[in-house]
């Protein structure tokens, strides 16, 4: 596993070893005995499929004791993945970063607790997988509007396809960050 630190403290890009041969490849995408970097114990694995390029899911988080660290990756297609530091007291609070994740480069993004997360599909047919270290808890779900002017995330699109819930998400000043 190769680890690439990012400009915010905590998130990491992880590149598992890939054993290629004539048939294709084999890769251990997660092993609890790999001590290359400290990862939490993941209790839930999620998968979402997105039909259309230009679809945006986010920016989402869970509050308090239900806060989730996530390990995310693309199984088919490519996304622009965005995380926003919403950690109380963090010197980089409200800074965001974006990385491209694609099925081709095998990259996984580790997102610690205390980050809001979203992604924009850059291709049709995106299969996205993520593990979380806390269970889904609808009562503690939070969101910030994708185009919040204070955050000013550069998504590279003006009119993404959104769920009704994400289209109506609160702006940062009204959001309950927990
Ligand atoms: C997140 C989640 C949703 N659901 C249900 C609720 C709802 O009926 C349906 C779709 O939920 P959503 O519209 O919230 O799905 P989606 O917009 O894809 O939400 C996801 O977005 C990305 C960016 C994340 O980081 C995830 O943590 C999650 O918030 O799935 C679960 O059953 N378990 C879960 O863990």
The answer to whether position 34 is within a domain reads no
Distance CA 132, CA 68 (A): 6
The answer to whether position 32 is within a domain reads no
According to the model, what pLDDT value does residue 178 have? 87
Distance CA 69, CA 50 (A): 22
Phi first, then psi: give them for residue 164, nearest 5 degrees: -55, -35
**Ligand 1 within 6 A of CB of 136:** yes
The answer to whether position 7 is within a domain reads yes
**Ligand 1 within 6 A of CB of 113:** no
Q: How far is the CA of 70 from the centre of ligand 1 (A)?
A: 13
Give the ipTM: 0.98
Q: What is the CATH number of the domain that holds 83?
A: 2.60.120.10
Q: Which residues pair with 8 in a beta bridge?
A: none
What DSSP state is assigned to residue 7? S
C-beta neighbour count of 94 within 10 angstroms: 17
Tell me the catalytic residues. Answer: 60, 130
The answer to whether position 158 is within a domain reads yes
pLDDT in tens, 111-132: 999 999 999 999 999 999 999 9
**Ligand 1 within 6 A of CB of 25:** no
Distance CA 2, CA 36 (A): 8
The answer to whether position 159 is within a domain reads yes
The answer to whether position 29 is within a domain reads no
Distance CA 129, CA 40 (A): 17
Ligand 1: which atom is nearest the Cα of residue 119?
23
The answer to whether position 31 is within a domain reads no
Question: How sure is the predictor about 65, in pLDDT bands with cuts at 50, 70 and 90?
Answer: very high
For residue 169, the enclosing domain spans 2-24+42-174
Pocket test for ligand 1, best of 42, 44, 47, 48 (most atoms within 8 A of CB): 48
pLDDT in tens, 6-45: 999 999 999 999 999 999 999 999 998 888 888 999 999 9
The answer to whether position 66 is within a domain reads yes
24 CB-near residues (< 8 Å, 6+ apart): none
How many structural domains comprise the chain? 1
Q: How far is the CA of 51 from the centre of ligand 1 (A)?
A: 16
């Amino acid at each position: 596993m190769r680890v690439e630190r990012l400009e915010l403290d905590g998130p990491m890009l992880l590149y598992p070893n890939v054993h290629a041969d004539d048939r294709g490849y084999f890769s251990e995408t997660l092993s609890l005995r790999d001590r290359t970097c400290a990862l939490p114990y993941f209790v839930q694995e999620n998968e979402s499929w997105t039909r259309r390029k230009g679809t945006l899911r986010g920016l989402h988080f869970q509050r308090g004791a239900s806060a989730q660290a996530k390990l995310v990756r693309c199984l088919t297609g490519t996304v622009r993945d965005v995380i926003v530091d919403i950690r109380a007291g963090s010197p980089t609070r409200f800074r965001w970063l974006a990385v491209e994740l694609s099925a081709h480069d095998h990259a996984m993004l580790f997102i610690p607790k205390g980050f809001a997360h979203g992604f924009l599909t850059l291709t049709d047919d995106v299969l996205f997988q993520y593990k979380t270290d806390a269970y889904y808890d609808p009562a503690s779900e939070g969101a910030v509007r994708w185009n919040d002017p204070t955050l000013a995330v550069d998504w590279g699109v003006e009119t993404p396809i959104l769920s009704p819930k994400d289209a109506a998400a609160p702006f940062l000043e009204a959001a309950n960050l927990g």
